[in-house]
Every structure is written in C-alpha cells, then in structure tokens.
C-alpha cells in the first residue's frame, strides 16, 4: 500500500536529513528500520538524529528539538543520562557479549522479581516482540491449549499470530492486519473489543475451554492512550481464572514506567504472565517475560518449550537496564514523574480547551496523548477521520517548526522523562498554544 505524501515537506530546512533519507530509501525499505519513523502519517521526511541529551534530540542539520518521543518509551531517565552512560561504558570495557551467563543478568532478573509480585521467574530477551512471542508459547505449553485472545487496537509486537487488529504502526497505516501472515497463522487468535465485558464473557462461554491466554496492554498505548475501566480488567482476571486460561499483561510500555510494579501494581491486579521491554533496557535492546514458576518451568532447559537468544542477557544491555532501574529508585522517579505530568495536565487543559476544534488530553502517569477525535477521547480503538488526521499532521509540523518533536502519528502516545523539567513543560505548552491557534 502506498500513501501520498502530503505537501507539507520542508526538506529545504533540513538538507542533511533529506539527503540521508534519500540515501536510506535506496537501501532500506521505506528508508527506515521501523515503519512509524517514516513520517508517512504526517507527511514530510523524517529527522535523522545525530545525538541526544536529556530532553533534547539534535538532528543531522544541527537543529535541537525538545523530545516527547523518548525513543518510544525506554528513556524514562532522558537521553544519555550520565549514570546510564557510565554504567554502559564500564560494561563495554569488559566485553560486549559472552554467550554465557553473567552476574548482571541475574541482578536484573532479581530486580524484576522483587518489583513485580506476579513474576517469580523471568527470562531476558532482546525485544518486546520476543518477550510477547515467548510468553504466548509458555501460556500454550502450560495450559495445553491453543487459542489466544487479544484486543483490537492493542499492539504486542510483530509476531505473526498477533498481527491482527493491532495498533502502533498498523493503526497509523489504517491496516487491520499484515501481508505475509497466512490465515492459518491467525486461526488460533481471537480479537475482542476493549471495554466490553459482555463480549469477553460471550467468547469464553463459547470457546473458554480452548483459550490458553488473554493478552492485553493493561494501559493500552498503541492506538492512542485508551485507559480501561478497572472493572473491565478485573472482569478479565475473573473470566480467565474461571476458565483456566492465563492472563498476560503486556507491560512493555507500562512496566517500570507507571511505577515499580507497572500497571499491575497500579491496578491492583496480578496477571499470570507479564512481558517487559523499553524501560528495563534503559535504551538498550532488552525485553523480558515472566510469571509463576509453574508456568516458566515449561521452558527449556528444564522443560520442553524452546526459547533462546544469542544476545539474551547481554552484559552491556543489562548494565543500561540496571543503571536505569537504580536511578529510578534513587530519585523517587515515579513520584516525581507523576507530579510533573500532573503539572503538565494543569497547564495543557486550558490551552486545549481554547483550540478552535476538539483536542483532548488523556494522561496516565508519565504517558500522555493528544486525542484529535472530535467525539472526545475514546476508550476503544477508533479510527480518526481524514479531517482529524490532517489536523494532527498540521499540528505535528507546526510543533516541529517550533523545535518540539512529537510522535509522528496521531495514534501514538507521548512520553515524559525525568529530564523534562518546568522549563520544558512551559516550552511545550507555549508551542502548543501557538500551533493550535494556527490550525483552522
Ligand atoms: N508490546 C507493546 C505493548 C509495545 O508497545 C511494543 C512496542 N512498542 C511491543 C510489545 C513490541 O516491542 P519491540 O518493539 O521492542 O519489539
């Protein structure tokens, strides 16, 4: 599927990025190594980043931007936090990978187990996709069942059987699914709407005995930010328990961001399995999945369920994760982020209210989303109209011109980090106020 690029490109302002993009398009599909980076939803050509520090990224043309993408979530401490850089530098000197166990991976695993009561054992991998894919395999092995239930709009990485009604880049492209995934590969996947206990109960009534697991982002953040009613999540906990299915919380975004114990702690719900990524790697490629010992015991080498990785538990990546988790504890990060984000909410609400068209702020801890849905902030995955999408694209470019880097898609949430202080919040609010006024 090709999409027209809107005419709002400003390559003349960013010649070095434009040149890199042109080169990239020759050798990398779409010029990017992950689709949403390509600016297709907002038009124009992507910034190529040359360096980053604190709350800022600097593009190849030397322009500075205040960053609210935060590499899509890992950088809760900000870019190149000195403590993380020091830990990584130190680890690098001791070798980049061993392919054999090391102390740092034990420490990171201990940290996850201590923080997340539902996790007695955890295995470390190199991405969120891998974490989810492996957790599903464990759920199927442990229950001896085949069906997986996911929710429309939730994204769980790009494993074949989960590329059904997914969010993230797929929401951006308005595609319900993906090419290259045979029907047979999704035959064991069921998709439910969010926010609908009755639909879940009905499905369990019909196929409950075949359902291995229900997987959900406890705070869905890949189709905009769609905080769920606690009662709905509790109903899923109950239904899965009654039917002997596992509940999997995909905490790749929420884990160690909404609090030490992730969304599970925040909601007071213990899942059977949980997946992690982003923050636990502190910016390095790390994912993890874990749960009760009786489920995790199915994994090889103890059990018959295979899962492996050449770079799993990589010592340099572990160092970044450990340093990040250390500083989150030391700096009482979650409390501070909540206070900062609440401050931002107070500043933003009147600015959004003054806009000539509907824009709503949705915030959960240090995650926030500007919803351009005219009908208000949705609780289920809802597509934006062409006019709403065009408004977001205009806002995105107006903000970029003011040195603010928002996610280049109306469906993606923004991330605050410890590096976003009062001055950064003020800059965001001022730029937003000006930009909204410019858009009819
Ligand atoms: N699960 C969720 C909830 C995610 O947001 C993502 C990525 N944004 C993934 C899984 C996949 O993680 P990765 O991109 O590291 O493979």
Residue 129 CA: nearest ligand 1 atom is 16
Residue of 397, 386, 399 lying closest to 351 (CA atoms): 399
Q: Rg (Cα) of the chain, in Å, rounded?
A: 21
Residue 344: alpha-carbon gap to chain centroid: 21
* Ligand 1 center–CA 75 separation, angstroms: 14
pLDDT value of position 104: 98
How do beta strands 360-364 and 367-371 pair? Answer: antiparallel
Mean pLDDT over 181-194 rounds to 90
Q: Is 131 helix (H, G, I), strand (E, B) or coil?
A: helix
Q: Is the CB of 127 under 6 A from ligand 1?
A: yes
Residue 277 CA: nearest ligand 1 atom is 15
Could you tell me which residue, 174 or 127, shows the higher pLDDT?
127
* Ligand 1 center–CA 156 separation, angstroms: 6
Q: What is the dihedral of CA 391, 383, 370, 128, to 10 degrees?
A: -130
Q: CB within 8 A of 368, min separation 6: which ones?
A: 225, 341, 344, 345, 361, 362, 413, 414, 416
Q: Is the CB of 132 under 6 A from ligand 1?
A: yes
Of the chain, the percentage scoring pLDDT greater than 70 comes to: 95
Q: Is 353 helix (H, G, I), strand (E, B) or coil?
A: helix
Residue 285 DSSP one-character state: S
Say if residues 151 and 191 touch (Cβ distance below 8 Å). yes
Q: Binning pLDDT at 50, 70 and 90, where does residue 184 land? A: confident
CATH number of 82-330: 3.40.640.10
- CB 294: neighbour CB atoms within 10 A? 11
- CB 268: neighbour CB atoms within 10 A? 11
Q: Is the CB of 128 under 6 A from ligand 1?
A: yes
pLDDT value of position 11: 60
Q: Is the CB of 129 under 6 A from ligand 1?
A: yes
Mean pLDDT over 185-203 rounds to 94
Q: Is the CB of 250 under 6 A from ligand 1?
A: yes
Q: Where are the domains of the chain?
A: 11-67+332-439, 82-330
Q: Is the CB of 157 under 6 A from ligand 1?
A: yes
Angle, helix 333-353 to helix 422-438, in steps of 10 degrees = 20
Mutate to test the pocket of ligand 1, among 35, 127, 132, 157 (most ligand atoms within 8 A of CB): 157
Mean pLDDT over 139-150 rounds to 97
Q: Is the CB of 151 under 6 A from ligand 1?
A: no
**What are the pLDDT digits (tens) for 368-393?**
999 999 998 999 999 999 999 999 99
Q: Is the CB of 156 under 6 A from ligand 1?
A: yes
CA distance 396 to 9: 12
Compute the mean pLDDT over every residue in the chain, rounded to the nearest whole number: 94
CA distance 347 to 332: 23
Closest C-alpha residue for ligand 1 atom 1: 156
CA distance 236 to 214: 8
Residue 217 CA: nearest ligand 1 atom is 3
CA distance 322 to 80: 15
**What are the pLDDT digits (tens) for 234-256?**
999 999 999 999 999 999 999 99
Sign of CA dihedral 294, 295, 300, 305: positive
Mean pLDDT over 250-267 rounds to 97
Q: Is the CB of 155 under 6 A from ligand 1?
A: yes
CA distance 269 to 435: 40
Q: Is the CB of 217 under 6 A from ligand 1?
A: yes
pLDDT value of position 395: 97
Buried b / exposed e along 68-89 (16+ C-beta atoms within 10 A): bbbebbbbbbbbbbeebeebbe
* Ligand 1 center–CA 241 separation, angstroms: 26
Say if residues 403 and 63 touch (Cβ distance below 8 Å). yes
Angle at 353 (CA atoms; ends 348, 355), nearest 5 degrees: 100
Q: Is 205 helix (H, G, I), strand (E, B) or coil?
A: helix
pLDDT value of position 177: 73
Say if residues 416 and 344 touch (Cβ distance below 8 Å). yes
- The CATH label, of 3.90.1150.10, 3.90.1720.10, 3.30.1330.30, 1.10.510.10, for the domain at 11-67+332-439 is 3.90.1150.10
Q: CB within 8 A of 46, min separation 6: which ones?
A: 17, 21, 31, 32, 37, 38, 39, 408
Q: Is 116 helix (H, G, I), strand (E, B) or coil?
A: coil
Say if residues 274 and 255 touch (Cβ distance below 8 Å). yes
* Ligand 1 center–CA 435 separation, angstroms: 30
Mutate to test the pocket of ligand 1, among 33, 127, 252 (most ligand atoms within 8 A of CB): 252
* Ligand 1 center–CA 311 separation, angstroms: 18
> Is it the case that residue 308 has pLDDT exceeding 60?
yes
Q: Is the CB of 222 under 6 A from ligand 1?
A: yes
Sign of CA dihedral 97, 99, 101, 106: positive
**What are the pLDDT digits (tens) for 317-371?**
999 999 999 999 999 999 999 999 999 999 999 999 999 999 999 999 999 999 9
Residues noted as catalytic: 155, 250, 278
Residue 168 CA: nearest ligand 1 atom is 8
pLDDT value of position 171: 54
Say if residues 195 and 154 touch (Cβ distance below 8 Å). no
* Ligand 1 center–CA 239 separation, angstroms: 25
Q: Binning pLDDT at 50, 70 and 90, where does residue 165 land? A: confident
Mutate to test the pocket of ligand 1, among 33, 69, 72, 129 (most ligand atoms within 8 A of CB): 129
DSSP string of 73-112, one letter each residue? TT-TT-BT-HHHHHHHHHHHTT-S--SS--HHHHHHHHHH
pLDDT value of position 435: 97
């Amino acid at each position: 599927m090709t999409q027209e690029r809107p005419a709002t490109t400003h390559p003349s302002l960013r010649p070095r990025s434009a040149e890199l993009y042109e080169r990239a398009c020759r050798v990398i599909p779409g010029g990017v190594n992950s689709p949403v980076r390509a600016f297709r939803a907002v038009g124009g050509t992507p910034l190529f980043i040359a360096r980053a520090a604190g709350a800022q990224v600097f593009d190849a043309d030397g322009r500075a931007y205040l960053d609210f993408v935060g590499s899509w979530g890992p950088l809760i401490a900000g870019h190149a936090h000195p403590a993380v850089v020091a830990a990584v530098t130190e680890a690098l000197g001791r070798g980049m990978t061993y392919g054999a166990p090391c102390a740092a991976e034990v420490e990171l695993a201990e940290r996850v187990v201590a923080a997340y009561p539902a996790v007695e054992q955890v295995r470390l991998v190199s991405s969120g996709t891998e974490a989810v894919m492996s957790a599903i395999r464990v759920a199927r092995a442990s229950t001896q069942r085949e069906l997986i239930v996911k929710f429309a709009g939730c994204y769980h990485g790009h494993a074949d059987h989960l590329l059904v009604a997914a969010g993230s880049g797929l929401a951006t492209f308005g595609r319900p699914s993906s090419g290259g995934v045979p029907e047979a590969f999704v035959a064991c996947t069921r998709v439910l709407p969010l926010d609908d206990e009755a639909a879940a109960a009905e499905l369990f009534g019909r196929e409950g005995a075949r359902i291995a697991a229900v997987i959900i982002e406890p705070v869905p953040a890949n189709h905009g930010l769609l905080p769920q009613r606690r009662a709905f999540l509790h109903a899923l906990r109950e239904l899965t328990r009654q039917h002997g299915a596992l509940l999997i919380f995909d905490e790749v975004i929420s884990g160690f961001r909404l609090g030490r114990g992730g969304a599970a702690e925040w909601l007071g719900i213990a899942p059977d399995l949980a997946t992690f990524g982003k923050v636990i790697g502190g910016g390095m490629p790390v994912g993890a999945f874990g749960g009760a010992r009786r489920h995790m015991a199915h994994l090889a080498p103890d059990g018959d369920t295979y899962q492996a990785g050449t770079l799993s538990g990589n010592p340099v990546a572990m160092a970044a994760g450990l340093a990040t988790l250390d500083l989150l504890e030391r700096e009482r990060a979650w409390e501070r982020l909540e206070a900062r984000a609440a401050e931002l909410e107070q500043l933003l609400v009147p600015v959004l209210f003054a806009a000539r068209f509907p824009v709503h702020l949705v915030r959960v801890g240090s995650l926030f989303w500007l919803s351009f849905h005219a009908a208000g902030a949705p609780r289920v995955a809802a597509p934006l109209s062409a006019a709403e999408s065009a408004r977001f694209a205009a806002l995105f470019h107006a903000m970029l011109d003011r040195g603010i880097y928002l996610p280049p898609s109306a469906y993606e949430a923004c991330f605050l980090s410890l590096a976003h202080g009062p001055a950064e919040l003020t800059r965001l609010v001022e730029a937003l106020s000006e930009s909204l006024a410019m858009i009819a």
